[in-house]
Structure formats: structure tokens, C-alpha cells
Amino acid sequence: MTDPDGHSAPKGLLLVGGTSDIGRAVAATYAARGWTVTLAARDAEGAERNADDIRTRSGAHQVAVQHLDILDTGSFEGFLDGLDTLPDTVVCVVGMLGDQSRAQEDTDHATTVMRTNFEGPALLLEMVAARFAARGHGLIVGVSSVAGDRGRASNYVYGAAKAGFTAYLSGLRNRLGKTDVHVATVKPGFVRTSMTADMDLIGPLTAEPDAVADRIAALETRPSDVVYVLGIWRLIMFIIRAIPETIFKKLSL
């Protein structure tokens, strides 16, 4: 795409989840590469702080903020119609770990966890996919979780929602497989963020937000369908999925 003066217009990224640590790292990586970046978040003030940080660190000025509540599904169409231009890439990093014990007793909390991790992102990306398909190209990246690979007692509400999101992305990828709209599923494993600040993370199994951002940005030139940010997680989850249910249900995981 070129402007009236014949200059190539920068590509555009829509980052959904603009206040998260991973989202900030992804946005900063794209901005540093000359992309225009739009941070979408329910907390617009928090997203603006991230935008200011990105502008300061990268020198990029084309970083904008848009309000978007991932639970307000009725607002999605108007949100997308209100963007200045349809982005080239949409990355959805929205996530809510929640509290498993609370979710077992509090239906409202369980509902919020499920809607935040599955319903909202899937419905939004479905609308994005329709627009990308009509245009003829685009990259959709959904950040899911290894927790969705098999349900565990310690986080099965969150894991079930992420499993749904993973299945959704797989189906969308299958539907668009013969077009130039690519759909990628990214499973970071443990990531050192504010969401995991209270967790006792295992060093070799834990990625930094910048590493997740680099793997996502690499999809622009090296498309891939399912990405485990740390390769060790692909092996770990292969083993966990292979454990017979009669044994698995007796484990404390």
C-alpha cells in the first residue's frame, strides 16, 4: 500500500489486551519495526501508560489506544468499524487466570473467567476473520495456553476456557486454510508477568514477555500454526496428554 506521494504506508497491528505485560511487549516489538500500533483495552488509562512507555523506548509515535471491553460483545462490530483502517495483523492476548477455588463456588466468577478467555476473544476474532477474508489477507494470532491441552484440578475452569479458544482457533484456521488469511495459536507456557507474580515459577519452563513477543512477530515472515514459545512445553504436554485417565485422575496436578 502506498500513500498519494508514493511512499509505502506502514503496516498496522491491533493488539487486543493492551494493558497486559505480554501485550505491551508485543506492541513494543511491532512499533520498533515501524508498524502502526493500536492498543485495545478495557482500562484505556492503563493502555495509554503502556503506549507512552512504547513511544519513549522505541521512538515510535504511531501508537494509539482504543477502549474495548472484551466482555461487551455487542460493541465489537462498532469497535472494528470505528478503526481508521483495517489492521494487517490482530494479536489477542486477553486472559484472566481467575481463582479455581472461587470459581467452583462462585458462578459469576467462573462465568467471567470463561467469557474473558473464550467467548469474548472468539467472537471478536470471528468478526476480524470476516473482514480479513473479504479483503483477502491478514494474520490472526490468538494467545491461548498449555492449560487448555488437558484439564487439571488446579485450574480447570481457566483451562477449559483456553481449550475452547484453542479449538476455536483450530477451526478458524481450517476454514481459512485455502485463503491468505493465516491463523496462529500461541501457547506461551509459564510467563513472568503480573498475572503469575504470586506463582512459584520454574526457571527453565518460564518465558519472558519479550520472548513471547519475538515468537509472535516472527510469524510475519515464518508462518506457523501452533507455537509453543518454549519447545520443552510441547514435549511436556505430549506426555501429560498421553497419561491414561485412570492414572491421571489420581495425580495431584
Domains of the chain, residue spans: 12-249
Residue 59 pLDDT greater than 90, yes or no: no
Alpha helices in the chain (DSSP H): 21-32, 44-58, 76-81, 100-105, 107-114, 120-135, 156-175, 209-218, 232-242, 245-248
198: pLDDT strictly greater than 80: no
Mean pLDDT estimate for the chain? 93
27's grid cell: 506492541
- At residue 39, φ and ψ (nearest 5 deg) are -95, 120
**Predicted TM-score (pTM) above 0.75:** yes
pLDDT in the model for residue 247: 95
CA atoms within 13 A on the CB side of 132: 27
Among the listed residues 91, 41, 117, 109, the one whose alpha carbon sits nearest the alpha carbon of residue 220: 91
Tell me how far CA of residue 126 lies from CA of 90, 92, 140, 172, in angstroms: 11, 12, 10, 8
Under CATH, which number does the domain 12-249 receive? 3.40.50.720
The three-state secondary structure class of 106 is: coil
Query: Rounded to an integer, what distance in angstroms lies between the CA atom of residue 188 and that of residue 17?
Result: 15
Confidence of residue 57 (pLDDT cuts 50, 70, 90): confident
How far apart are the two ends of the chain, measured CA to CA in Å?
50
Known active-site residue 228? no
Using alpha carbons, list the distances in angstroms from residue 245 to 63, 116, 242.
Answer: 48, 29, 9
Catalytic residue among 30, 158, 168, 228: 158
Per-residue cell: 87:
489492521
Q: How many alpha carbons fall within 13 Å on the CB side of residue 210?
A: 1
Backbone angles phi and psi of 144, in degrees to 5: -105, -145
Q: HSE (CB half, 13 Å, CA atoms) of 41? A: 25
The whole-angstrom separation of Cα 36 and Cα 62 is: 5
Per-residue pLDDT at 6:
54
What's the length of the chain?
253
Dig out the grid coordinates for 117 from the structure. 478467555
User: Per-residue confidence at 149, pLDDT binned at 50, 70, 90?
Assistant: very high
Residues 106 and 104: their CA atoms lie apart, in Å, by 6
Task: Summarize pLDDT for 77-103 with one digit per residue, the tens.
Answer: 999 999 999 999 999 999 999 999 999
When pLDDT is cut at 50, 70 and 90, the band that residue 2 belongs to is low
Select from 204, 150, 214, 139 the least CA-distant residue to 172.
139
